[in-house]
Amino acid sequence: MLMLSRIAEQFPIVFAALNVGFLQTLRLFAVTLLGAIPLGLLIAFGSMSRLRPLSAVVRLFVWIIRGSPLMIQLLIIYYFPGLVFGNNIWGMGESGRFTAAAFAFIVNYACYFSEIYRGGIQGVPRGQEEAGQVLGMSRRQIFFRVTLLQMVKRIVPPMSNEIITLVKDTSLSRIIALQEIIWAGSAFLKGSQGIAGEIWPLFFTAVYYLLFSGILTVLLGRLEKKLDYFKI
Amino acid sequence: MPILEVQNITKRFGETEVLRGISFTMERGEVLVIIGSSGSGKTTLLRSLNFLERPDGGRILVNGEVVFDAADARRLTEEAQRQRRLHFGMVFQNFNLFPQYTVLKNVTLAPTLAAPDRKAGAEEIERTARELIARVGLSDKLGAYPCELSGGQQQRVAIARALAMKPDILCFDEPTSALDPALTGEVLRVIRQLKTDGAGRTMIVVTHEMEFAAAVADRVLFMSGGVIEEAGTPEEVFGAPKSEKTRAFLSSGVKNF
């Protein structure tokens, strides 16, 4: 009971701090999606290119990014320029850390997205394109009127998975001290605003993740359901 | 003048010569059935007519006009090729309906996109589509999606869809091969009606259904090893085959292979 009353007392301070951290989490999440969704398409086209050297290079790159931990990528991207060239290209302070984290997340997620896109594009049966061709449709018309929606239907479920994963992956940016919600929660462990040695704020951050990923699950599920009217 | 003239079409895939000089002509309103075992080149021939394969040699003329000439190296613009391929319609073995569209939209989509003025033509296009769908017996399925239809129904929609572009020559590539035996009848009936409804439609049918072939064909081509081994009326080819290979093929007596 003593503990509960202590938590109740500390709650307003912690809640405000966590909200600020969560805002940074949301920002990273949104910027990553905005960047990775189009960049992933570019990478997908690159990896499917008939130009052998191009597709080989792109696939090698995708393999490196998908095959190594995002945490390492964050560290390398943030510290490497400063250590080797002696200047931190990302800029100082929190905005510098955010730029570096956003860059790492966008590149990392674009590679994952590109593989999903590739599966979606290659999954449309050749017969769909041929049917459009024999009906005299142009390549543009075939893409926009016939194959695009079938690709979207194919990629929505795996994309939903990745997007939910991204919600939680943003916490990895703690490793370069980005002031997102995990950072905000762990501050009360070391001591901040008169509160020290408290671990419950860190535990409490999970509630934010649960709520946010829950909302996203519902929204993405609705989108999936919208495309349920036809089968492929 | 023949509606279709195929002159010495050749096609190879790597080392394999799939078509080794195919020539034949068709008159308007004629129904040509092509038979032959798998790998004899029937499907490749049909796909060549529809510009889905580019033959290595030969010419194709429709109404006396050259629509394809392998010697003519100049590349056609996409637009020109689209216009030329519209002489032919194609019904695929696997139907290839557009899954995200209703039956009606499947039939109206291509004519709508091709119409010079999309708004003005819409009513006319939809009326034609409804007529065609009625003709294949699916008026009660206008709003259904392909996944809600049986294979036979899907294939009938595919036939209506092909007819909507008013092709000079309608091609069927093994239209019943992907169907349950119980469903082949309805599709074959529709094709037979197209022959007898007085519109004088020119059709090429690749099929393994010998009884159907005999009933619907004005002329039968038997293909083997990339050449036309034998050609004639159904009575000639089925009744008194001249070629040893034709006899062997027919006496193997299998419907599905």
Determine which of A17-21, B67-71, B168-172 has the lowest per-residue pLDDT on average.
B67-71
Residue B169 near residue B161, CB atoms below 8 Å: no
Please give, rounded to a whole number of angstroms, the shortest distance from the CA of A124 to a CA of chain B: 11
Q: Which of B85, B89, B100 sits opposite A230 (nearest CB)?
A: B100
Both structure tokens of B220: 């039968």
Q: Measured between alpha carbons, how far is B183 from B77 in angstroms, rounded to an integer?
A: 41
Q: List pLDDT tens digits, range A193-212.
A: 888 888 999 999 999 999 99
Q: Which of A134, A137, A231 sits opposite B113 (nearest CB)?
A: A137
pLDDT at B255: 46
Residue indicated by tokens 């008169």 = A194
Average pLDDT, chain B: 91
ipTM of this predicted structure: 0.92
Find the residue in B nearest to A149 (Cα). B100
Residues of B in contact with A127 (CB under 8 A): 92, 94, 96
pLDDT value at B200 more than 70: yes
Find the residue in B nearest to A226 (Cα). B100
What is the reported pTM?
A: 0.85
Find the residue in A nearest to B103 (Cα). A230
| 3-state SS assignment for residue B202 | strand
Q: Which of B82, B83, B92 sits opposite A131 (nearest CB)?
A: B92
Is B243 near chain A, with CB under 8 Å?
Answer: no
Average pLDDT, chain A: 93
Find the residue in A nearest to B146 (Cα). A230
Please give the residue that has the higher pLDDT: either A3 or A79: A79
pLDDT value at B198 more than 80: no
Q: Which of B51, B82, B161 sits opposite A138 (nearest CB)?
A: B82
Is B99 near chain A, with CB under 8 Å?
Answer: yes
Percent of chain A with pLDDT over 90: 82
Is A185 near chain B, with CB under 8 Å?
Answer: no
Q: Measured between alpha carbons, how far is A42 from A195 in angstroms, rounded to an integer?
A: 48
Residue A136 near residue B165, CB atoms below 8 Å: yes
Residues of B in contact with A229 (CB under 8 A): 145
Please give, rounded to a whole number of angstroms, the shortest distance from the CA of B237 to a CA of chain A: 31
